[in-house]
Structure 1
Amino acid sequence: MAATKKILVIVTNVDEYRKSGMRTGLWLGELTHFWDVAEPSGFSMDIASPSGGKVPIDPESLSHEVLAELNTGKRYENRRFMDLLEDTKRISEVNVEDYDAIYLTGGHGVMFDFPQSQDLESLMAQFYETGRVVSTVCHGATGLLNVTLSDGEPLVKGKSVTGFSWPEEELANRAQAVPYNLQEELKKLGANYITADEPFETYVVEEGRLITGQNPGSARAVAEAVVRRLTAA
C-alpha cells in the first residue's frame, strides 16, 4: 500500500435528537483538535459525510466557554476552515485508495446516521482489510457498530475499544435523549470495551490499526496515535 499522506474525516449530517427538540451535530473540537495535530505532521484531510453537503454543528460546542476551554475558537473564526463544512462529499464518492487512514468524529448526531449508513460500513471494512488505519473518537465509535469483515465477524469482536461511556452520557444529561447505550452496544458485539478511571479524562485505546478515543477531550490524543502509526508504517 503506497502512502498517500491523506486522511479521510467523517462527520454527521444530523442536526437534532429524534426523542426531543434539542439540537445536535458535529462536536467541533473533535474535528479541529485532530486537524491541529495531523496537518502540521504533513497530512492533508478530506471531509465526507453520509449524505454529503452542509454539516450541522452542535451548538453546545460553540459556546464561548467551550471554544475557549478547548481552544477551538481560532478554527471557528477561520472562514476557509469553516467553509470545508459547507459542502462535504458523500461517503459513496470516496475511493479508499486515496487515503492512509479514516477518522470518525463524534457529536451526538452520529448516533443517528453513522450506524444507518451502509456506505460507511463498507468503507470502514475496506479501510481495515486493506491495512489502513481506522480511528474514532467519542460517539464516532457508533460507526463501528455495524461493520462486518469479510469473514462475517464484527470488526470490533475480540478487540479493545473505547467510546463515549454511559456515565459520561448521564453527566452530559443526554441519557434520556440518545437512542441507545453505545458502551453496551459495543460489548454486545464482543468488543473489550474499556474506559479511563474517571469520566471525561483523556483516554485512547490502540488495538493495532484500530485506534479509538473515549470523549471529546481525547481527539488530539487520537490524532497523535494515528500520526505515530502512519509515520512508523
Structure 2
Amino acid sequence: MKKLLLVVTNIDRYASGLPTGLWLSELTHIYHKAKEKKWDITIGSPKGGHVPIDPESLKPLVLDKISKNYYEDPIFRDELNHSKDLYEVTNEPFDCIYLAGGHATMYDFPDNENIQEIIRQQYENSKLVAAICHGVGGLLNVRLSNGEYMIKGKSITGFDWFEETIARRKREVPFNLEAAIKNRGANLRKAFIPMTSNVVVDKNLVTGQNPFSSKEIAKVLVEQLEKI
C-alpha cells in the first residue's frame, strides 16, 4: 500500500483581507485517486488543524463533480479541519509528497522549514515529490544537502504571471511565482494556452501548472507510483 502526504495551507486571507485558502480541486483529485486505490493518505499543513477553502474554487464554473462531492462530504470536511501539523510527520516515510495549491500557499509554504526538510529528504531518497499551481512555491527554497536549490536546472511548471492577470490577483499576491521559479534557475515550461492542463515530469519531480491540471497530475502520479 502506498503512503501519500498531501500538504495544504492554513492561510485564509491575502494581506489585503480578501479571502483565500486551498484551491479545492487541487486536493480532491489526487485524494480521490488515492482513495480508489485504497492507499494511505495523510493531509498535513504547516500549523495543523483547520484548512480554509478558497471561495473562488467553489464557484460553479470551476467546481467539478468530484470536488463538489467531497465538499459536501462531512467526513472529508472533518479531515480538513483536523490536518496534521507537518512537524509530526517530518520523519515519516512517504511514497509521494504532494503540495496542493491556492494563492494562500504563497504565504505559508515558501519559508516553512518543515516543508523544506520533508521535501529535501523525499527528493534525495529518489521518492516522488509533486506540487501544483501556487503549491510549487513550496519548492522554491528547498536546498539539497550540497547547498544547491532543488529546482535549479529542473524542468517544472507553476501558475504563471499571465494567469495571475486572468485571475485578477496580480495586485494581491505577495510575489511573482513565475519570476521566482526562473530566478532559482529552473526551466519553466508553460502551457501554450493559459489556464489549460499542463503537467511536467522531471524524474521524481512532478509539477502541474494550474487548477485545470488537477485531474492530469493525479493520473500521472498514480501511474508513477504504480511503477514502483
Q: State the TM-score, normalizing by the size of structure 1.
A: 0.94
The separation in 2 between residues aligned to 1:115 and 1:217, in whole angstroms, is 22
C-alpha distance after superposition, 1:86-113 (max 9, x if no partner): 1111111104443101000000100000
Structure 1 moving runs of 4+ over 6 Å: none
Cα pair 2:132 2:214 within 8 Å, conserved? yes
Determine the structure 2 residue equivalent to 1:9: 6
**8 Å Cα contact 2:140-2:181 kept in structure 1:** yes
Alignment of 1:106-185 (within 5 A): 106-185=101-180
Q: If the length of structure 2 is used for normalisation, what is the TM-score?
A: 0.96
Q: Distance in 1 between matches of 2:215 and 2:37?
A: 13
Q: How far is 1:71 from its partner?
A: 4.1
C-alpha distance in structure 2 between counterparts of 1:89 and 1:97, whole Å? 12
Q: Does 1:209 align with 2:225?
A: no
Counterparts in 2 of 1:22 and 1:70: CA distance versus 1, 3 Å = farther
Partner residue of 2:56?
A: 60
Residue 135 of structure 1 deviates from its aligned partner by: 0.1
Q: Which whole-Å CA distance do the structure 2 matches of 1:214 and 1:93 have between them?
A: 29
> Is 1:44 matched with 2:40?
yes
Deviations 1:38-70 (A, max 9, x none): 221342211000011101110111224432x46
Paired residue secondary structure (1:14): coil
What secondary structure, in the 3-state scheme, does the structure 2 residue paired with 1:47 have?
strand
In the alignment, does 2:87 pair up with 1:92?
Answer: yes
SS at match of 1:135: strand
Instruction: Answer yes or no: is 1:80 the counterpart of 2:75.
Output: yes
Is the CA contact 1:213–1:219 (under 8 Å) kept in the aligned structure 2? yes
Q: What SS does structure 2 have at the residue aligned with 1:124?
A: helix
Match of 2:21 in 1: 25
Distance 1:46 1:143 in 2: 18
**Cα distance in 2 for residues equivalent to 1:40 and 1:220:** 14
Q: In structure 1, list runs of 5 or more residues that go unmatched.
A: none
Q: Deviation string for 1:163-206 (max 9, x for gaps)?
A: 00111011000001101111110111110001110111100000
Equivalent residue, structure 2, for 1:196? 191
Paired with 2:92 and 2:225, the residues of 1 have a C-alpha distance of 15
1:219 counterpart SS class = helix
SS of aligned partner of 2:130: strand
SS in 1 for 2:80: coil
Instruction: State the distance in 2 between where 1:56 and 1:93 align.
Output: 20
CA-based RMSD of the aligned residues comes to: 1.3
Q: Distance in 1 between matches of 2:202 and 2:148?
A: 16
